[in-house]
Structure 1
Amino acid sequence: MTFAKSTQLPAGSDFRSLFERSAVETGFLLTVEDRFGIERLIHRRGTRNAPSPALLNGLLRHKLRISRGAPWPAPPELVVAGCYVTYMISGGGARSGVLSMSPAPAPGRILIASLLGATLVGMRKMQKVPLLRDDGQIETIVVLDVGPAPDRGPA
């Protein structure tokens, strides 16, 4: 599998065009719960602790606009809040975690209130899209696997 190298976002360019191409070519699907959760994060300022809250809010709003509704029940290959997702960024090693709608960081969690989590939500297994970084770099992310969150056992 070949991945694009990290590139710097050109001055004055609109990052939305990157995601619009991805949505047209491969599409993003949001469940009703994820759509509602994203709207709640924005409304309740759940992104205020992100490194670039304005950029993240713009990405989340754009994701809401370009995503289609997911069928019910959601397909097992769809990345949704609460799922365990394995992904790779620009040819690096595989990483994984549970996608979380919570704005509070926790070990093993990928926050939707982050550029990484906002990009992952609504993707499908083996889908590859641009990933915008806080520093303006653009990398490529691919979803390798999606599954249920691991059972934590007795509380």
Structure 2
Amino acid sequence: MTITRITHLPAGSDFRSLFERSAVETGFLLTVEDRLGIERLLRHRGTKNAPNPPLLNGLLRHKLRISRGAPEPAPPELVVAGCHVTYMISGEGARTGALSMSPVPIPGHVLVASLLGATLIGMRKLQKVPLLRDDGQIETVVVLDVHPSPDHAAA
């Protein structure tokens, strides 16, 4: 019996390094609190009010896989739950909203339980990434500014 080793596939540790490089290239950073918040949304079906929950759930799981841990305390330019973020979607004007882990819509808030919010969390000021829209279109979103919420600023 002959055993043939396939040498063109990376070994286990090489697979890990591919994923780590992938996370570094994406540039997403999640705080422990944000990671736990996303996991809670997924576990408790907090995305059920979204137009396409399976798509959003997939995006959130992907974000958890590819994001690196953020330093604590989080850098001021990092988009985290509770911060006020100013962003611009290609072809549109600048908008501002507070990023929220709430599963239900709140006026003036961008929900992490939306494709936009799921994309924004973990981004940094002036970072530009693809944004998947509910209708399947792919746009570009850029973070223009980030401000801590009054609650986090007082702490």
Bigger radius of gyration: 2
RMSD: 1.8
1:70 aligns with 2:70: yes
**Correspondence 1:1-155 to 2 at 5 A:** 23-149=23-149
In the alignment, is the contact (CA less than 8 A) between 2:23 and 2:68 conserved in 1? no
The whole-number CA distance in structure 2 between the counterparts of 1:102 and 1:39 is 13
Measured against aligned partners, the alpha-carbon deviations of 1:113-150 in whole angstroms (never above 9, x if no partner) come to 00000000000000000000011000000000000225
Bigger relative contact order (CA 8 A; separation at least 6)? 1
Residue type matched to 2:129 in 1?
V
Residue type matched to 1:116 in 2?
L
In the alignment, is the contact (CA less than 8 A) between 1:84 and 1:150 conserved in 2? no
1:25 is displaced (CA, Å) by 3.0
1:24 is displaced (CA, Å) by 4.4
Local SS of the residue matching 1:105: coil
How does the TM-score come out when normalised to structure 1? 0.81
Give the number of the structure whose residues are more often helix, by fraction: 2
Identical columns (%) = 83
In the alignment, is the contact (CA less than 8 A) between 1:56 and 1:114 conserved in 2? yes
The whole-number CA distance in structure 2 between the counterparts of 1:64 and 1:91 is 29
Q: Which runs of 5+ in 2 are unaligned?
A: 1-20
How does the TM-score come out when normalised to structure 2? 0.81
The whole-number CA distance in structure 1 between the counterparts of 2:108 and 2:22 is 27
- Runs ≥4 residues deviating over 6 A: none
